[in-house]
Structure 1
Amino acid sequence: ELRSEPAAAGEFRGGIGIVRENTFLTDTAITCEGERHESDVPWGAFGGHDGLNGSLVKNVGRAGEESWPSKVTGRQLLAGDSLQITVPSGGGFGDPHKRDPLKVLEDVLDGFTTAEAAARDYGVVIKEVNGQLTVDLRSTAERREVLVAELSSAT
């Protein structure tokens, strides 16, 4: 499945990592050569927001739950144990306020971001009209003007 967290904002949004869970039918040992679960999130570039790190978690939501580091050698698992592998999500590229508002709406409809994150990160105002989500283009233009002015005065 795809990660449930919103994708990193950017004119070109960040890639969405995946989550998979493997359940082991016999006792086994695992070695993993992942990288940097604890630091150095995938960077955003040219105004894009940072992505999210990956993780390895044994027995998510049940007895014996344990977070593992990104590199493990010979970790023992028993029959019935599971290992959830969450892949990092990529950073966004470019100023999120330049992303086409209709693409942001598509991201909301696809579950890649939320209406709240669309307003906060992209300055895109999404409203429900007759049971359908739609972009309020006038409110979006106004919100983006305010956000850009706030960013300019902060620097």
Structure 2
Amino acid sequence: MSNKAADHARLIDVELDETISRSTPDIEHERAVAIFDLIEENSFRPVNDDGSGPYTLKLSLAERRLVLAIARADGDPVVTHILSLTPFRRIVKDYYLICESYYDAIRSSTPSQIEAIDMGRRGLHNEGSQTLMDRLSGKIEIDFNTARRLFTLVCVLHWRG
């Protein structure tokens, strides 16, 4: 992909609509950080689009499904995809459990124990990212690093604190 095409195959804004309930200030902060990281560096292009991005993404929830409404920078709608969150339920639950273990370990464990837990945490994050890429295959072209950032956002949407 040329640099000019790469400049257009990206997200420039991510919005959470009112169906995603607001939460504690800490969780809202984590959501804002996840959105910032995603916008800061990503590769994102709806399949079968002529590439006239950059794009905006509005996320909402409908009946335990994640709705991804993609539009151009000027607001012109491109496509909407709906993903079941069921395939992510176990991964997100396990990811939060291992994150809790990691934060507990930081306080009292040896560096090698912390590293082992962190490797497990990264492994689960990679599994969730790959699952997301697989679920978006044929719908949205994203690279693995973008999938990782988007999976982080999916995780913090689930986080209840």
**TM range, normalised to the smaller chain?**
under 0.3
TM-score between the two structures when normalised by the length of structure 2: 0.24
The structure that is helix-richer by fraction is: 2
Q: Which protein shows a greater Rg?
A: 1
